[in-house]
Amino acid sequence: MATDAVPSLLERSDPSKLFCEVPDPQETGEAEMMGSYLMACRQKQKLMCQQLCMLDSLMEFLGGLNSKTDFLNDQCPKASEGEAREKWKALKREYEGDLAEVEQLIGSLLQRSEQLQDRRDTLETLVRLLQQKKEECQAVARIRKKRNQMAMTQVSLRRDDSLQASQHALRSCERQLTQLRQQSDALQSVLDQRTRLRDQLWSCVQVWQGLGQYRVQRVSASEICVELRPQGRQLEPLQLRVTSKPPRHCHLQVLQGNAGMLEETINWPMEQLSAALLAVMQSYISQGPMLAEIQALRSSFAIDWRPAQRLLVFLKTASVVCHLVVEEGYPSQGTATLQAVRKDGRDLNIATLQPPSQQPSLTEWLEFLSCCPGV
């Protein structure tokens, strides 16, 4: 990994191993002596260089002679002092060029050393940041581990609480089951009572069915629907609903349906159910002529009978509505009278509207209104 190579890189880039360390003089006197010594050495080196140059020129001159006699016969040397000086200057220039190149290389080396040191510092900074990040990650891991342990502890506690709550709920359900069983027993007792009442109602209805005037349509646990059929009369069947109420009472409800009777509910003791049915039948038969006429008119006219108001509503057209009031005792003792005629929501004048008969029946009124052009 990259982190494993960092120590070796730092060791290789240590400045103490890149340059040779020269110990500084410990005392000022020693530094001055060293300075004078170096200056003297420099002067000696320059003198030796000059002597070497002269020796080199002499050796070159002697090397060019063929014999000893040539040296004696040659009055003037070939090389002049100016040529030797030029050669010396050439050597000096070469030395200075090499010295400048060395100084340039030293400067480049120092620059690269500084770059290396900067990179070393950057690497050390990154290593410190990495170490810090590693410590932070380890701290976060420790915190997360601690949180996980706390979460597991809380889960365990919640599981124990849930187990206790489940046990408590189980005990509560057992208590509720016991209560429901008790309620079921009580309801079964009530159901047995209702069954006995139903059987009594059924027996009573069967007795009346033997007379040919009653018919049972529907039977439930506490309710019976009975249909009254008057014999020898052109009347629609009358619908009744008998509902048993504890301890021994019943509700007798008259349903209007197509019969035209007023809907009402009568409370009777169970023992007097037969008398109640007979009273309802007598009331229905007493209004038989009027109700038979109304029931017959339904097949020919659009009418609506309202027994509570003793009002017959005749819908001649979509915009014409006629109201007729039927008196008590109709048709033998009461009469039918035109109360109002409305056309497009406005009341019309009915003073001139009268059928030919002096006491017209409902049928005559409806036939007259149907053919009357003024309505």
Across the beta sheet with 264-269, what order do the strands follow? 214-219, 223-228, 238-245, 249-255, 264-269
Q: Is the model's pLDDT at 137 over the cut of 90? A: yes
Look at 83-92, 104-113, 138-147, 155-164 and tell me which has the smallest mean pLDDT: 83-92
Does residue 26 sit in helix, strand or coil?
A: coil
- The pLDDT value recorded for residue 57 is 77
Q: For residue 83, which amino acid is it?
A: E
Cα distance between residue 110 and residue 36, in whole Å: 29
Q: What is the pLDDT of residue 14?
A: 63
What is the average pLDDT across 133-141?
92
Q: 3-class SS at 343?
A: strand
Confidence of residue 140 (pLDDT cuts 50, 70, 90): very high
Q: Does the pLDDT at position 142 exceed 90?
A: yes
DSSP codes, 151-196: HHHHHHHHHHHHHHHHHHHHHHHHHHHHHHHHHHHHHHHHHHHHHH
Supply the pTM of this predicted model: 0.42
Mean pLDDT computed over every residue of the chain? 79
Vertex 331: Cα angle to 330 and 332 (nearest 5):
100
The pLDDT value given to residue 224: 81
Whether the predicted pLDDT of 141 surpasses 90: yes
Judged by DSSP in three states, 366 sits in helix
pLDDT in tens, 266-280: 777 777 777 777 777
Q: Is the pLDDT of residue 207 over 60?
A: no
The whole-angstrom separation of Cα 331 and Cα 328 is 9
pLDDT in tens, 243-258: 877 767 777 777 766 5
The position carrying tokens 């029946």 is 361
Q: What is the mean pLDDT of residues 194-200?
A: 77
Q: How many Å apart are CA 266 and CA 253, to the nearest integer?
A: 6
Q: What is the number of other CB atoms lying within 10 angstroms of the CB of residue 364? A: 14
Burial 75-89 (b: 16+ CB within 10 A, else e): eeeeeeeeeeeeeee
Residue 133, token pair as written in the block: 């990040």
Question: How far is the C-alpha of 226 from the C-alpha of 207, rounded, in Å?
Answer: 13
Q: What is the pLDDT of residues 28-40, one digit of tens each?
A: 667 678 778 888 8
Mean of pLDDT values over 118-143: 90
Q: What percent of the chain has pLDDT over 70?
A: 78
- Are 305 and 294 a contacting pair, CB within 8 Å? yes
Q: How many CB atoms lie within 10 A of CB 334?
A: 15
pLDDT of residue 212: 45
